[in-house]
């Protein structure tokens, strides 16, 4: 039988907010770890603390040129907090990578010395693995190329250099720092360079870190070091929930051995979800800890259903449509029948691509490993050209928004609007007639042929010089034979598919995919990944659990539900007290279930549907009638 959940007042967590306010006192700063479960209003508490700080200490901090640093997990979370504090420059709000880059970006000589010390260590490790590995394998070839590349970069670093970094995309080239490099460099500078440490503390006497359970372990430990050294003038505030830790590079024992002087407020209310969903969340996390949330008074009820079918189901989208129909009947909420109004959570990006209709372009581009980060964030230049330049032009034109078309062309710095081009075109009549003709041809190409490829659209845009074509697409902007050997960039070494081949394959897929792709990367579509919705909430949530389709090895719902037995490796890790894939999956399951405010549908594709039902009911997570098999 499922557990009951206690109800409580919003004022139950008032003491936690007061404790944070007391910590943020420049006269006697104190560090804290705010322990707060899903839906507890962590961002609400953070914003209230900032507002109170501005009221009490803002004028003094501004005169001294100091700020409160606030580190969040995503750009969306940054934007939300910036909006809620009305863009007050007293607070520096950024993602962890952006924050670290800001601190180190002017220390080029120190970065070069750091790289010169680190790269030989990496080369030695690669050489040791190569000596133990099998010669001739793909892994061996990749190691050898990586060794050569590192040695070349080391030689390049023999002279003074300046470095670059993009926190929102992939970073290529010898001068570019990787995402992990930026975190490591900042962490090491905080530990090894007293002057650097002083600069950071002087700028940010208080540093608050949201989602601290997923913040890079090396950096968190460096900040603990700084806090211990500077505790009289520096306060570190960690906000998080270890049950919501998803990524592997976080500090797994965060909050376990904090110094006694640290304040540890706890929030016990779930402000987001109705009581049935809170009860399920409590039952899921009961195998990890004893933290049980209360639901808000007046938020009782809610609907939870688990739908189970075979992994071999030939029509999974059809089954998920059936689930939405059933949820509409169960909850009395007809909006469940509106596909776009239900947030579907999947484990892997490709699962979303298949269901939303951009799998061809996605699979072509993800074949080149180094495209992954920018592809998943919407920042890959080859794709951004179509999503941010071509698609808005098409959409404005078909809606009849002539003014918006011209505004978009100006903002996109269309070459056709350059003074020199306008002058040349005006010699042959009205220059805008040429522009209209160009736009018309692009629109007609897309409208009249639903299967028009990205390549055809690129050719049409390039023909009229409507937009500047990014370097990665320039080999394809004119009809010409592409020589892979001549054009493949240096960084393609070690990849199974070159960047040139990946882009070429992408260009020959249908352009219509750019619409659902853009919605997906902006989190505006019906689908999102389990990992991509931390901190967010939705009235209706449908979670798709399919180990076979996800194709990974880090998570396993079949093991979590005890349909599959733990492996020998799982058992050995459990005996050593180490994390297993079952632990990771349980936390991920908790995160996904707690995104729902009113109703939650769980779809499990299983090799043994009947056994799965028996297991989850025996666990007490669901009543028998809540499981549809």
User: Higher pLDDT residue, 565 or 497?
Assistant: 565
pLDDT tens track for 113-160: 999 999 999 999 989 988 888 887 767 877 887 899 889 999 999 999
By CB neighbour count within 10 A (0-12 exposed, 13-18 middle, 19+ buried), where does 264 fall? middle
**Topology of the domain comprising 275-342+526-628:** Rossmann fold (3.40.50)
> What is this structure's pTM?
0.84
pLDDT of residue 421: 60
DSSP code string of 180-222: HHHHHHHHHHHHH-HHHHHHHHHH-SEEEETTGGGSBHHHHHH
pLDDT of residue 496: 67
What band does 29 get if pLDDT is binned at 50, 70 and 90?
Answer: very high
pLDDT tens track for 230-267: 999 999 999 988 899 887 778 888 878 888 999 999 99
User: Higher pLDDT residue, 107 or 372?
Assistant: 107
pLDDT tens track for 462-500: 998 899 898 889 888 864 444 433 333 434 444 567 888
User: How is domain 17-104+184-265 classified at the architecture level of CATH?
Assistant: 3-Layer(aba) Sandwich (3.40)
Query: Which span out of 102-116, 171-185, 424-438, 483-497 was modeled with the highest average pLDDT?
Result: 102-116
What band does 61 get if pLDDT is binned at 50, 70 and 90?
Answer: very high
Query: How many CA within 13 A on the CB side of residue 89?
Result: 4
Tell me the angle at which helices 179-192 and 96-104 cross, rounded to the nearest 10 degrees: 60
What band does 3 get if pLDDT is binned at 50, 70 and 90?
Answer: confident
Name 433's Cβ contacts closer than 8 Å, sequence gap at least 6: none
Please provide the average confidence, as pLDDT, over all residues in the chain.
Answer: 90
What band does 430 get if pLDDT is binned at 50, 70 and 90?
Answer: low
């Amino acid at each position: 039988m499922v557990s009951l959940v206690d109800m409580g007042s919003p004022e139950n967590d008032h003491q936690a907010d007061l404790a944070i306010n007391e910590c943020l006192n420049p006269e006697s700063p104190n560090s804290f770890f705010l322990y707060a479960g899903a839906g507890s209003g962590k961002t609400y508490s953070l914003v209230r603390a900032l507002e109170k700080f501005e009221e009490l200490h803002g004028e003094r901090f501004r005169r001294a040129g100091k700020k409160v640093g606030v580190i969040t997990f995503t750009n969306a979370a940054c934007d939300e907090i910036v909006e809620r504090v009305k863009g007050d420059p007293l607070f520096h709000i950024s993602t962890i990578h952006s924050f670290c880059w800001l601190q180190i970006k002017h220390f080029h000589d120190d970065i070069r010395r750091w790289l010169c010390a680190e790269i030989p260590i990496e080369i030695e490790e690669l050489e040791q693995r190569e000596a133990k590995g099998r010669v001739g394998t793909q892994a061996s070839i990749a190691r050898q190329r990586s060794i050569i590349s590192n040695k070349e970069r080391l030689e390049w670093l023999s002279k003074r250099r300046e470095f670059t970094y993009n926190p929102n995309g992939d970073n290529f080239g010898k001068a570019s720092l990787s995402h992990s490099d930026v975190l490591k460099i900042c962490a090491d500078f905080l530990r090894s360079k007293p002057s650097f440490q002083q600069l950071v503390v002087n700028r940010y006497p208080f540093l608050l870190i949201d989602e601290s359970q997923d913040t890079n372990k090396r950096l968190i430990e460096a900040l603990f070091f700084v806090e211990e050294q500077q505790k009289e003038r520096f306060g570190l505030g960690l906000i998080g929930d270890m049950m919501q830790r998803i990524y592997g590079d976080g500090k797994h024992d965060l909050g376990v051995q904090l110094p006694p002087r640290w304040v540890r407020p706890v929030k016990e209310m779930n402000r987001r979800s109705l009581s049935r969903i809170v009860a399920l969340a409590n039952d899921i996390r009961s195998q990890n800890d004893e933290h049980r949330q209360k639901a808000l008074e007046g938020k009782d009820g809610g609907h939870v259903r688990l739908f189970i079918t075979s992994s071999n189901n030939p029509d999974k989208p059809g089954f998920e449509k059936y689930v939405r129909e059933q949820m509409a009947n169960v909850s009395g909420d007809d909006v469940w029948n509106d596909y776009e109004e239900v947030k579907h959570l999947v484990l892997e990006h490709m699962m979303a691509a298949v269901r939303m209709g951009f799998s061809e372009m996605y699979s072509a581009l993800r074949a080149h490993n180094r495209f992954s980060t920018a592809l998943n964030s919407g920042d890959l230049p080859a794709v951004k050209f179509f999503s941010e330049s071509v698609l808005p032009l098409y959409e404005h034109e078909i809606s009849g928004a002539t003014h918006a078309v011209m505004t978009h062309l100006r903002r996109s710095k269309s070459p056709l609007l350059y003074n020199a081009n306008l002058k040349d075109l005006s010699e042959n009549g009205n220059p805008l007639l040429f522009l209209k003709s160009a736009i018309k041809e692009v629109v007609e190409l897309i409208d009249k042929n639903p299967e028009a490829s990205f390549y055809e659209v690129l050719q049409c845009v390039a023909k009229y010089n409507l937009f500047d074509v990014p370097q990665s697409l320039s080999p394809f902007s004119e009809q010409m034979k592409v020589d892979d050997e001549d054009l493949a960039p240096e960084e393609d070494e070690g990849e199974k598919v070159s960047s040139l081949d990946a882009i070429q394959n992408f260009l020959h897929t249908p352009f219509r995919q750019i619409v659902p792709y853009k919605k997906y990367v902006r989190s505006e579509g019906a689908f999102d990944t389990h990992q991509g919705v931390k901190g967010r909430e939705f009235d209706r949530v449908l979670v798709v659990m399919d180990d076979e389709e996800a194709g990974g090895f880090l998570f396993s719902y079949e093991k979590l539900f005890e349909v599959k037995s733990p492996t020998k490796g799982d058992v050995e890790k459990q005996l050593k007290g180490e994390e297993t894939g079952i632990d990771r999956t349980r936390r991920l399951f908790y995160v996904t279930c707690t995104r729902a405010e009113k109703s939650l549908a769980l779809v499990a594709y299983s090799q043994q549907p009947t056994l799965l039902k028996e297991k989850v009911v025996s666990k007490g997570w669901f009543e028998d009638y809540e499981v549809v098999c």
